Amino acid sequence: MRDALGLYYHPNPDDISARVYVREKNGELEFRLWQRDHPEIWERHGWMPLGVIQAAASMYAMNNAADPMRLYDENVARALLKEASE
């Protein structure tokens, strides 16, 4: 999907109040979170490269915490970007 902020998907299809925006910059996949109930998230947090998210995911795994890769889905992002370029 696309709006004025860019390409996005809903990380939880049952909850459309959250969106994950995706883009490719200098050949690297980047993500940015938007939440209807928390607009400050968009303002405070910029675009995050996939590599940073993957590094964070490995730290979360060591601490048995929630996996950020469930929110930032590389496959969905690449499919959106591919579809948008066609």
Q: What is the pLDDT of residues 14-70, one digit of tens each?
A: 999 999 999 999 999 999 999 999 999 999 999 999 999 888 887 766 666 567 777
Give residue 62's domain range.
Answer: 2-85
Q: How confident is the model at residue 1 (pLDDT cuts 50, 70, 90)?
A: very high
- The count of domains in the chain is 1
Q: Alpha-carbon distance 60 to 74, whole Å?
A: 17
Tally Cβ neighbours within 10 Å of residue 14.
5
Q: What was the pLDDT predicted at 69? A: 77
Q: By three-state DSSP, how is residue 60 classified?
A: helix
Q: Which of 71, 80, 62 is nearest to 34 (CA)?
A: 71
